Amino acid sequence: MKTIERTGKSTSAVISGFMKEFNLQLEDFKFEVVDEGKKSLFGLLTSKPTVIKFIMSDISDSISSYTKGILNQMSIDFEKVRVEEKDNTFYVEIEGVKEAGFLIGKEARILDAIQHLVNQMINKQERKSMHLEMDIDGYRERKNQQLVDKMKVVAERVKKTGRSYTFEPMNATRRKIIHQFVEKDTKLQTMTIGRGESKRVIISQAGKKLNQNDTYRNTTRRPPRPHNIKKA
């Protein structure tokens, strides 16, 4: 919770000024009158301002509350929900989950669904677009590190053999990790192919024009039609 004190000539004036300052409605906060103040009498006595303490929910508190509410509705046992903000992104870590595999789901689909739901709820509350990433006992962190380790091997193989490599279908977050990793190497380039959940990332030597044989040298799946191939 975040508390803010404001002073003014009267209770109504202080509340009105506070709402205007933060563009709030009455339902967006609570308040407590610390001192009702005192008006001067015929200018003979010194007036005393009204002091009001406003209580506002911190965004991290709201995210934690929403997440706990969903987990309780799902009858999930957990120890705590930790929320940290960094670079305009809220990172939510659910710790001590007894049924982590169930809550994560196949290819993290259940975890992604909960993340999306909480993100929508907090965006509606704050009336602005905010970014949130949710993890369970370091699951995503471990998977991302495994992906980075794999990319290091793949990158060296592509540079040595000249043959491109196509990753398995993955979500936007994991594709972004590959793109950012390759951007640091001037000898390599990336391309995204496919649509929706079938999107894949290709790593190849910089400046190399891909064809379907090159593109799918590292996968047994049927290649998409040419119009599905687009730049990353």
Query: What CATH number did the domain enclosing 217 receive?
Result: 3.30.1370.50
On whether residue 44 sits in a domain, the answer given is: yes
Do 167 and 199 reside in the same domain of the chain?
A: yes
CB 228 within 8 A of CB 193: yes
Query: Among 83, 103, 137, where does a domain finish?
Result: 137
Confidence category of residue 209, pLDDT binned at 50, 70, 90? confident
pLDDT in tens, 116-150: 999 999 988 877 788 899 999 999 999 999 999 99
Range with the lowest mean pLDDT among 21-25, 50-54, 150-154? 21-25
Do 47 and 104 reside in the same domain of the chain?
A: no
For the chain, how far is it from start to end, CA to CA, in angstroms?
42
Give the pLDDT of residue 214: 53
On whether residue 72 sits in a domain, the answer given is: yes
CA distance 217 to 226: 16
Nearest residue to 80 (alpha-carbon basis) of 65, 70, 95 = 95
pLDDT in tens, 36-88: 887 766 554 557 889 999 987 788 888 999 999 999 999 999 999 999 988 88
Domains in the chain: how many in total?
Answer: 3
Do 27 and 87 reside in the same domain of the chain?
A: no
Nearest residue to 231 (alpha-carbon basis) of 178, 190, 179, 187 = 190
Confidence category of residue 25, pLDDT binned at 50, 70, 90? confident
Query: Among 115, 137, 159, where does a domain finish?
Result: 137
Average pLDDT over the chain, rounded to whole? 85
Residue 63, beta-bridge partner list: none
Q: What are phi and psi of 10, to 5 degrees?
A: -155, 165
On whether residue 142 sits in a domain, the answer given is: no
Nearest residue to 54 (alpha-carbon basis) of 8, 110, 106, 119 = 8
Per cent of the chain over pLDDT 70 is 87
Residue 192's domain comprises 147-231
Section 95-99 average pLDDT: 92
Confidence category of residue 199, pLDDT binned at 50, 70, 90? very high
Per cent of the chain over pLDDT 90 is 57
Query: Among 137, 169, 186, where does a domain finish?
Result: 137
CB 95 within 8 A of CB 81: yes
Give the pLDDT of residue 126: 78
Which residue reads 């870590």 in tokens? 93
Residue 51, beta-bridge partner list: 7, 35
Do 181 and 199 reside in the same domain of the chain?
A: yes
CA distance 190 to 231: 8
Give the pLDDT of residue 75: 93
CA distance 155 to 163: 10
pTM exceeds 0.85, yes or no: no
136-139 long-range CB contacts below 8 Å, 24 or more apart? 136/93, 136/94, 136/97, 136/100, 136/103, 136/104, 136/111, 137/93, 137/94, 137/95, 137/96, 137/97, 137/100, 138/93, 139/100, 139/104, 139/108, 139/111
